Amino acid sequence: MNYKNINKVALVAILLIAFGLPLVIRSATYLHILVLLFFYAYLTTSWNLVGGFAGVLPLGHAAFVGIGAYTSTILFLQYGISPWIGMLVGGVLATIAGILIGLPTFKMRGAYFALATIAFAEGFRVIVENIDYIGPFKINGPRGLQIPPLDIGLANFMFASKEPYYYIILIMLVAVVVLTYVISRSKLGYYLNAGGEEPEAAMALGVNVARAKLIAMAMSSFLTAMAGTFYAQFTLYIHPKSIISLDLSFEIAFIALIGGRGSIAGPILGALLLRPVGDFSRIYFGDTLPGMHLIIFGLVLILVMHYQPRGLQEPLTRLYNNLIRRITHNTTGR
C-alpha cells in the first residue's frame, strides 16, 4: 500500500465513522453536541475561504449567519416558503452584503480589517434590534422570531429527532470541505494564497488580488448564511443578541486559529477540540463554579497558542505522516 492509498482509506474510514456514528450514539444529548460541533466546523470552513486563504481576520461573520437565519425564517413564517428555498435566498442576500462589505474593507490590513468587520456585524445587530418591520417583513426587533414546531417534515426542514439534523449538517460539512479542497487547488486558490502572503508581490505579477478576495468573500458569505438557516431550523428560535453576536463571530475565528487557519483540516480539528472543551466544562463546572468553564476555555486558547501558534493542524499532520511512513515502511519491508 502506498501513501496515497492509505490516505484514501483513512478518508473513507473517517467518513464511514461520521455517517455511522448515530447508529452507535443514541443519546440525543451527544447528538446535539455533535450537530453543533459540525455546525461550527462548517461555519469555520466557510470562514476559512476568507480568513484562512485570503490572509485577513474577519470578526463579523455572525452578520451573515443572521442574514441567513432571518431570511429563511421570515419567508417561512410569513409566506410558508420552505426553508430550503429560504436558505438559498438568504445565501444570495448574504453574498450581496459580503461583496458590499468586501469592496471597501479589503483595502485594509490586519487590525483595521478585523475591527471594520466587527463594526459591520455590531452595526447590523443594532439595526435589527431597532427595527420591528421592514416593509411587510416582520423582524420583531430585540424579541426575535420563533418557529412553531407544528409541521414537522423534510419539506419544512423540521424534524422531531436529532438524526436528520445530524445528517444534513454532516453532508453540508462534507460538501463545503470538498469545495474548499477544489478551490485550494484552483487558480483562485493560488491567487488567494499569493495575495494573502505577499499582496504587493502578487499584484506585481499581475494577479488581481482584490477580485480573488471578493470572490472568496462572496462564497464565504453565501455558505455562512446557509448555516444560519440550519441554525434557525435546529433551535427554532432566533434572536439578534445570540445569533448576530460577537461571541459567535469570535468562536469561528478561535476554532480556525486553534485548528490551523488556511488548512482544510484546521477548522475540523479546531472544532473537535474547542467545542467539547466548551460544552463539557460548562456541564461539569456550570453548577458548582460559575464561570469556571470560560476560564478553562481561555486557558486552552492561551496554551494552544503558546505551544502551537500555527494551530493543531501542523503537529497532527506530522504525527499522521510519521505514522503512515512507519506503516508503509513496515509493509514494504516485509
Partner 1 sequence: MQILRRIVVPALAISLIAGSYATGHAENVKIGNIIPLSGPSATLGQQGKAAREMAVEEINAAGGIKSLGGAKFELVFADSESKPEKGVAEAERLINTEKVNVLTGCWNSAVTYPTTAVAERYGIPFVVPVSVSDKITDQGFKTVFRIAAKDSWWTRDQFAFLKDMEKEFGTKVERLAFVYENGDWGKGFAGQWKKLAEAGGYKVVLDEPYPSTATDLSPVVQKIRRAKPDVLLLVSNAADAILLTNTLADYKVKLKAIIASGGGHADPSFLKTTGKNAQYLFDIVEWETDVNKPGAKEANDKYKAKYGQNLTGEAVDAYVAMYVLKDALERAASLDPEKIREALAATNLSSGPGMIVGYDSVKFDKTGQNENASLVMVQVNDTGKGLERITIWPKSARRAGYTPVFPMPNK
Partner 2 sequence: MYYIIEDTINGILMGSIYGLTAMGLTIIFGVLKVVNFAHGSMLMVGMYLAYWAVTLSGMHPYLAIVLVAPAMFLFGYTLQNFVIKPIFIAEKNVREPLTVIIVTTGIWYILDNLTLLIFGPQYRSLADNPLNGQMLEIGEMFISVPKLYGCITAVITALGVYWFFQKTDMGRAIRATSMDREAASLMGINQYKIYNVAFGIGAATAGIAAVTLVPFYNVFPTVGVLFDIKGFIIVVLGGLGSIGGALAGGIIIGIIESVGPQFMTATWTEAIVYGLFLVVLFVKPSGLFGQKHDW
Would you tell me which residues interact with partner 1 (CB under 8 A)? 27-30, 32-33, 36, 126, 129-130, 141-144, 146, 148-149, 160, 231, 235-237, 239, 241-242, 247, 273, 276-277, 279-284, 286-287, 290-291, 293-294, 296, 300, 303-304
Least separation, in Å, of the C-beta of 292 and partner 2?
7
288 near partner 2, judged by CB under 8 A: no
Which residue number, 73 or 95, has a Cβ lying nearer to partner 1? Answer: 73
When binding is defined by CB under 8 A, the residue of 111, 150, 160, 204 that contacts partner 2 is 111
Q: Are 227 and 88 in contact (CB under 8 A)?
A: no
Q: How far apart are CA 277 and CA 273, in angstroms?
A: 6
Region from 14-22, 125-133, 146-154, 320-328 binding partner 2, contact rule CB under 8 A: 125-133
Site for partner 2 in 171-190 (CB under 8 A): none
Site for partner 2 in 233-272 (CB under 8 A): 246, 250, 253-254, 257-258
Least separation, in Å, of the C-beta of 273 and partner 2?
13
Q: How many residues bind partner 2 (CB under 8 A)?
A: 42
Region from 74-82, 105-113, 215-223, 225-233 binding partner 2, contact rule CB under 8 A: 105-113
224 near partner 2, judged by CB under 8 A: no
HEC letters along 190-211: HHHHHHHHCHHHHHHCCCCHHH
What's the sign of the alpha-carbon dihedral 47, 65, 100, 85? Answer: positive
Distances from the Cα of 54 to the Cα of 13, 41, 106, 194, angstroms: 31, 18, 10, 8
Q: How far apart are CA 274 and CA 283, in angstroms?
A: 14
Q: Which does 118 bind (CB under 5 to 8 A by kind): partner 2, partner 1, none?
A: partner 2
Least separation, in Å, of the C-beta of 28 and partner 1?
4
Element (H, E) at 137: strand 137-138
Least separation, in Å, of the C-beta of 164 and partner 2?
34
Going by C-beta distance under 8 Å and a sequence separation of 6 or more, which residues neighbour residue 232? Answer: 68, 69, 70, 72, 73, 83, 147, 238, 243
Tally the residues of the chain.
Answer: 334
Burial of 37 (0-12, 13-18, 19+ CB in 10 A): buried
Exposure string over 216-240, b if 16+ CB within 10 A, otherwise e: bbbbbbbbbbbbbbbbbbbeeebbb
115 near partner 2, judged by CB under 8 A: yes
Binding site for partner 2 (CB under 8 A): 57, 104-105, 107-112, 114-116, 118-120, 122-123, 126-127, 129-130, 246, 250, 253-254, 257-258, 289-292, 294-295, 297-302, 305-306, 309
